[in-house]
Structure formats: C-alpha cells, structure tokens
Amino acid sequence: MRHDDPLRVVLALLVLVATAALLWWAGVAAGVVALVLAGGCGLFWLGRGAHAPPSLPANAAPAVADPADALIAAITEPILIIADERVTNANAAALALLGAHIVGEHARLAIRHPEAADRLTAPLAALPGAPVSLVGIGTREARWEMQVGALDDGRRLVHLSDRTGSHAAERMRVDFVANASHELRTPLAAILGFVETLADDKAGADPPTRRRFLKVMDDEARRMGRLVDDLMSLSRIEADKFRAPESPVDLARLVEEVRATLAASHGNRGRDLTVVIAEAPPPVVGDVGQLSQLLHNLVGNAMKYGKPGTPVTIALAPGPDGMVRLTVADEGEGIAAEHLPRLTERFYRVDSGRSRALGGTGLGLAIVKHIVERHRGRLDIASMPGAGTTVTVLLPALSSNCHENITQGA
C-alpha cells in the first residue's frame, strides 16, 4: 500500500457519512441514489489511486545512460574504462573474467597483477605503446596482453587480449623442432662416428669389427628413415584434417589384411595375433590408407610392448550412436595413470630407452590421434600396471543411404 492510501480511505468514509445524512434529511429514494453515486465515485477514486504509478520526488533527475557502455558492449574481448584510478565501465567479457564487483573498485584491485599496476596508474603522458603480458589472469595457465590508451576526456581505455592459444601453439612448435632435431641428431652422430672408425686402416681391415659397425650404421640409418617417414606422414594428416574422408571402408577386411601382414613379418610374435569380430559391422567412412596406418601403429605397439607369448587381440563390433568400435588389447606391463594423458603427444615416451631399443619414433600414437580426429572419431587408452593396455577407437559407420549414394557416384 502506498503512503497516501489511508488518506483516500478516510475521505471515502466521509463521503459515505455525508450520504447517510442526506438519506435521513431528504428521504429514502433520494438517499439511495446519492448513496450509489457517492459509493461509485469513492470506489473509482480508490481504484484509480491504487493503480496510479508512484510519483517521483520533486528533486529527482532522470538517469542518463553512459554512451561508453553501449560502445564497449559490442566488443567481445574484455574492455575497461578507468577514471581517477577507478573502474567506471566494464563490458560483459571483462565482468566474466574479473568479476562483477570490479565496477567502482580501484584499478589495482580490479586487475591484481604487478605488471599491470604501474600501467593502470601511470600518468597519461607517460603511457608506453607496447602491450603488457599478464600471466595467471582468470586461470593459472591463461596468458593475456593488456593495452592501455588515453581517451579525449582523460579517462583510460584498457583492452585485454587472450594469447593463451597462440602461446601454446608457439610452445608446441618450439618443442617439436627441439625434439625432432634431437631424434635425428642421435642416429646421425652414431653413423658419423662409425664412419670415422671404419675409415681407420686398422679398424676397417678387421672383418668382424667392420660387419658389427656396419650393422649399427644400418640400424641407425633405418631409424632415421622411419622418423622422417613418420614426420612426413604426420604433416600430410594434419594438412587434411579439415577435409573429412568420404570413401566407404570395409574395416573387417582391412583388419584381416593388417593381421596377415604383421603375422608374416614378426615371426613367432605374429602367431599371438587374434581377431575377434562379434558380428558383421557396417563399413565406415574413411581413408583406407590412413586407417591401415592406424591399425599398423596400434597393433605394432601392442606386439612390441606386450609380453612375448601373450595374445594381442584385435576386436571389431558395432558401437554406440552409429559408430563402429575397434579395440586393440595386449597383456604387457601396462602404463601408470599419470602417463596416459600425454601418450598422444609427439615424441612422448614412458620409457625412452626401451622405446628407442624397440625401434619406436615417439610419433606412433600422435599419428593415431590425428587420424582419428580427421575421421571425426574418438580415441580412448585404458591401462593399468601389470594388466596390459587397451586402445579403443570409435569411427562413424557409413549409413545405408550414404553407402548407396557413394556407390552410385563411383
């Protein structure tokens, strides 16, 4: 109820009392008419007053919108406006990053970073043009660039740009070049060392020594060749990652071809390969060359790191949501949980010495991951120390309509 509602009730009662007096003085008929008229006016008066909008105080001024709010609201990156060292305006991105409480706060409290403090409070005439790099704003790993400029009215415009992605990409590039250089330099140094040794008349003239050195040189040269092949393959897969494959691939047939190839080239270990196909799975949409490479890498790893004489199982079955499930399982030593998230990183090895001794390049699972991503599939690696490792790949199945269209187009 508004503050003037009791006054209206009192006035309405006075009208009714006056009507009753008129009824007594003039007679019943005239009094009834007067009572109806007075009651209607009183109810109208009360109703109008109850629904009337509240009046503004006499000295109240209408709120004036700051045009800067509309200007910075259209910008997707965090923007702040600072006047007298306090935040006066912030767009939605800035509020989401720094908190809704920053408007009205001192600039040093709004952006709590030592590198930002001096730039936010320095004299406008002394503002440098280069941006400031900020680490840890929002999240610990986040990296931002802060640019501060002066507006015509003396306020400061603060612009924050997210550089987390570009920094991660640059770090990956530097790590990749360093790792690739190291992987190539090691066998190259061995080859050059043995060449110098064989060039010596005494060492080169001894047939057993020469054969042993030549064998090491051949192994190291082949290792370099495998590494270069994997690097080129990874580069081609990454170049095609935005172009989805369109050909139907009979994965069951491809699994059997890869099994036969590896069984023939790995001696006794090839006899441990087992293929389990629960039911005839539908074909998948894929690149047959890349899927063959995926199978060779996964099965090859299982044969290398599984215990000799234990089975390596390749299973194929329909998966969930119109996918085909491919699993490769071994009964090796297994992998500790802390290593699993990094297994698909380039050149990451759980045991570097063992991997190199077995001929690994450190790129096999990285290639698998990129092939799965290009095929719009999913990759999962499960392992426990002493219980072996199981790699699961889900690939989109080819629908019957799509299969008919591709067949007719061919």
DSSP track, 85-130: TEEEEE-HHHHHHH-GGGTTSBHHHHS--HHHHHHHHS-GGG--SS
The pLDDT of residue 89 is 92
CA distances from 198 to 52, 99, 201, 214, 376 (A): 107, 70, 7, 9, 51
Q: Is 134 helix (H, G, I), strand (E, B) or coil?
A: strand
Interval 213-270: pLDDT, tens: 888 888 888 888 888 888 888 888 888 888 888 889 999 999 999 999 998 887 788 8
Q: Residues of the chain with pLDDT > 90: what percent?
A: 28
**Between 19 and 386, the higher pLDDT residue:** 386
* Distance, CA of 373 to CA of 207 (rounded, Å): 51
Sign of CA dihedral 118, 124, 125, 128: positive
Residue 54: strand, helix, or coil: coil
Q: Is the dihedral of CA 224, 229, 230, 234 positive or negative?
A: positive
Express the helix, strand and coil content of the chain in percent, nearest 5 each.
55, 20, 30
Using CB atoms within 10 Å of the CB of residue 255, give its burial: 0 to 12 exposed, 13 to 18 middle, 19+ buried. Answer: buried
Q: What are 22-71's pLDDT values in tens digits?
A: 444 445 444 444 444 444 444 444 444 444 444 445 454 444 567 778 88
133-184 pLDDT, tens digit each: 888 888 888 899 999 988 888 888 999 999 888 887 777 777 777 777 777 8
